[in-house]
Structures are given as structure tokens and as C-alpha cells.
């Protein structure tokens, strides 16, 4: 096919949930409430950690940045999705697509590194409590946080760079509610094999690296917990890790299923339920997972409300 025989696509139509027009009002309300609660929960947690000096410790610094990235993820996806429920054409330009994927990839990659950093922090706190302030200094904490953002930015830029090698001359209909790279690859009239390979290599490397740190940290944590003589000490140590382990499990599980599973580039509409989970549900759950199971955060919230 020569260039004269087709026109290049510079904008797309996000089909999203248009297959269920009778449910659009209900879905709009549900997703709007999810977005509202997500933003209030995450940004409220960021503000609480910022204002309360008692929470200026590595664990809460990581948690605050995790909440910030969850807010970024939700902001990248939900406003356009809500607009499309009542939009006639549901159009989005190629550059808007790239911007949407950039911020999503930045948030998800930074989350991977932050969750790994939180696992290491819990390892030091439980396995080496006497050396905690030496091994987990604020300087190291800030360096790890900066590394998470740097890694997220580089990972996003790599995939955005490879998107520029593609041209889109087939259908401009994306059967998704946001611009993910996998639906874009299906519309490319250039073989996206290299892009798919880069997704497997870089996304796989990020997840394998961070999961390895989490697993090694938890191996030593569990070994230390089971060698404790005090049942009270065991329960306390387990409670400090339970929230993080739950968040890690659902986050990495959904990402691995979405991007690293066999034939993940040809699943089409099957991507949508998983994508809803890791882009909308997990950012909604994280503030509650960490806050409701954390007595220190609950006590700070109670004191703040009493002052008002």
C-alpha cells in the first residue's frame, strides 16, 4: 500500500463504554464518585502527611508520594472518560493520546519503585530496628523517591519515543476508555513488533526488579517475625506489613496480567476490566488500605478533626 492510497490517522475515537448506552448515566455517576473519592482520599493523605511533623518519616514520605502518583493516574484517565459518556464524537488527538499514556506510565512505574522502597523500609524497621535511622536516613529516602520519579519519567519517554515510529492508517476506533499503547499497536499500519518487544523488556524489567526487592524483603521480614519469642511482637510486626503486602499483591497482579501475560497484545476488549482495576480501583483503595489499618494515621486524623 503506497502513501497515496491512504490517509494517516491523527486522531482517534475512544469507544469506551458506548456499547451500553442505556447504562451511560449510571456508569457516569459510578465513575464520577470513584474519581471524587480517589482524589479526596489521596490528596487528603498527601496533605495530612505534609502538615503533620510526626509523619515526616521514610514510610510516610513513600506513602505520600504513592498517593500523589495514584492521583496522577486517576487524573490522566478519568476526566476524559467522564466527558466521553456524553460526547457525540469521543475524539482524542494523537498527541493527547501520548500525553495520557505518558502520565499513566509515569504514575504506574513510579508506583512500582515506591512499593519496592516501602518494602525495603519495612525490612529495615523489622529486621534491623536499632540501625533504622542509620540505614534508612532521610537523605536515602529522598534519593529513592527521586529515583522512582526519574525511573518513571525515563520509562514513559522510552515508550513515547517508540510510538513516533508508528503510523496509523487503519481504523481510528480504539476499543478502550483511554489511550493505552496496546490498543494503539493494534491500529498501526507499521509492524509494532519492536514496540511490543520494548514493552516486554522494559515493563518486565521494572516489575521483575521491584517484585524481587519486595519478595527478598518479605522473606527476611517473615523469617524475623517467626523467630520472635513474643506473640505481641509478631502481631505488631505483621500488622505493619499487612497493608503494604495487600496493596503490592493487587497492584503487581493486575499489571503483570495486563502487560506481561502471553498474547497480551491481542486480547482487545478483554483488557478493559483489568484496566479499570489498575487505573481506577487501586488508586481508590490505596488510601483506605493504608489509612484504615494504620493507627498512627487514624490518630492524626482524629486530632486534626478535634482541632476544627
SS3 sequence of 172-201: CEECCCCCCHHHHHHHECCCCHHHHHHHHH
Give the gyration radius of the chain's Cα atoms: 21
Yes or no: say if 27 and 85 are a contact pair by the CB < 8 Å rule: yes
Q: Which domains does the chain have, with CATH numbers?
A: 11-307 (1.20.1070.10)
Position 306 pLDDT exceeds 80 = no
What is the pTM for the complete model shown? 0.88
Residue whose grid cell is 495486563 = 258
74 against 190, higher pLDDT: 74
pLDDT computed for residue 187 by the predictor: 86
pLDDT computed for residue 253 by the predictor: 77
pLDDT computed for residue 255 by the predictor: 74
Yes or no: say if 210 and 115 are a contact pair by the CB < 8 Å rule: yes
CA angle 176, 182, 185 (to 5 degrees): 110
CA separation for the pair 156, 202 (Å, rounded): 10
CA separation for the pair 119, 213 (Å, rounded): 7
Mean pLDDT of the 15-44 span: 90
Position 22 pLDDT exceeds 70 = yes
pLDDT computed for residue 258 by the predictor: 67
Strands 11-14 and 91-93: antiparallel
Structure-block grid coordinates of residue 192: 509494532
pLDDT tens, residue by residue, 152-191:
999 999 999 999 888 887 788 888 889 888 888 888 888 8
Treating both helix axes as pointing N-terminal to C-terminal, what angle do 282-292 and 295-307 enclose, rounded to 10 degrees?
90
pLDDT tens, residue by residue, 229-285:
777 767 777 776 777 777 787 787 777 776 665 544 445 556 788 888 888 988 998
Mean pLDDT of the 58-83 span: 93
**Average pLDDT score, the chain:** 84
233 against 192, higher pLDDT: 192
pLDDT tens, residue by residue, 91-135:
999 889 999 999 999 999 999 999 999 999 989 988 888 899 899
pLDDT computed for residue 264 by the predictor: 47
Residue whose grid cell is 514510610 = 59
CA separation for the pair 239, 216 (Å, rounded): 19
Position 1 pLDDT exceeds 50 = no
pLDDT computed for residue 244 by the predictor: 73
Q: What is the 3-state secondary structure (H, E, C) of 80-123?
A: HHHHHHCCCCCEEEHHHHHHHHHHHHHHHHHHHHHHHHHHHHHH
Amino acid at each position: 500500500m503506497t502513501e497515496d492510497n491512504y490517509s494517516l490517522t491523527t486522531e482517534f475515537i475512544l469507544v469506551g463504554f458506548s456499547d451500553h448506552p442505556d447504562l451511560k448515566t449510571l456508569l457516569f455517576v459510578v465513575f464520577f464518585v470513584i474519581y471524587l473519592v480517589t482524589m479526596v482520599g489521596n490528596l487528603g493523605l498527601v496533605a495530612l502527611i505534609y502538615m503533620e511533623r510526626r509523619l515526616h518519616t521514610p514510610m510516610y514520605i513513600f506513602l505520600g508520594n504513592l498517593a500523589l502518583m495514584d492521583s496522577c493516574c486517576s487524573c490522566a484517565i478519568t476526566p476524559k472518560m467522564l466527558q466521553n459518556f456524553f460526547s457525540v464524537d469521543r475524539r482524542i488527538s494523537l498527541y493527547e493520546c501520548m500525553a495520557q499514556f505518558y502520565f499513566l506510565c509515569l504514575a504506574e512505574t513510579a508506583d512500582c519503585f515506591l512499593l519496592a522502597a516501602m518494602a525495603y523500609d519495612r525490612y529495615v524497621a523489622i529486621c534491623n530496628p536499632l540501625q533504622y535511622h542509620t540505614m534508612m536516613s532521610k537523605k536515602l529516602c529522598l534519593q529513592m523517591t527521586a529515583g522512582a520519579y526519574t525511573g518513571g519519567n525515563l520509562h514513559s519517554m522510552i515508550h513515547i519515543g517508540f510510538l513516533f515510529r508508528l503510523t496509523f492508517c487503519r481504523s481510528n476506533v480504539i476499543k478502550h476508555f483511554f489511550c493505552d499503547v496496546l490498543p494503539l499497536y493494534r491500529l498501526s499500519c507499521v509492524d509494532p513488533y519492536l514496540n511490543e518487544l520494548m514493552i516486554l523488556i522494559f515493563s518486565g524489567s521494572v516489575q521483575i526488579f521491584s517484585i524481587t526487592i519486595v519478595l527478598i524483603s518479605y522473606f527476611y521480614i517473615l523469617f524475623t517475625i517467626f523467630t520472635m519469642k513474643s506473640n505481641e511482637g509478631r502481631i505488631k510486626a505483621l500488622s505493619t506489613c499487612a497493608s503494604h503486602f495487600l496493596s503490592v499483591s493487587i497492584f503487581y497482579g493486575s499489571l503483570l496480567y495486563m502487560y506481561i501475560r502471553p498474547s497480551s497484545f491481542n486480547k482487545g476488549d478483554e483488557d478493559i476490566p483489568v484496566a479499570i482495576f489498575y487505573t481506577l480501583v487501586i488508586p481508590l483503595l490505596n488510601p483506605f488500605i493504608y489509612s484504615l489499618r494504620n493507627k498512627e494515621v487514624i490518630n492524626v486524623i482524629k486530632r486534626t478533626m478535634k482541632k476544627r
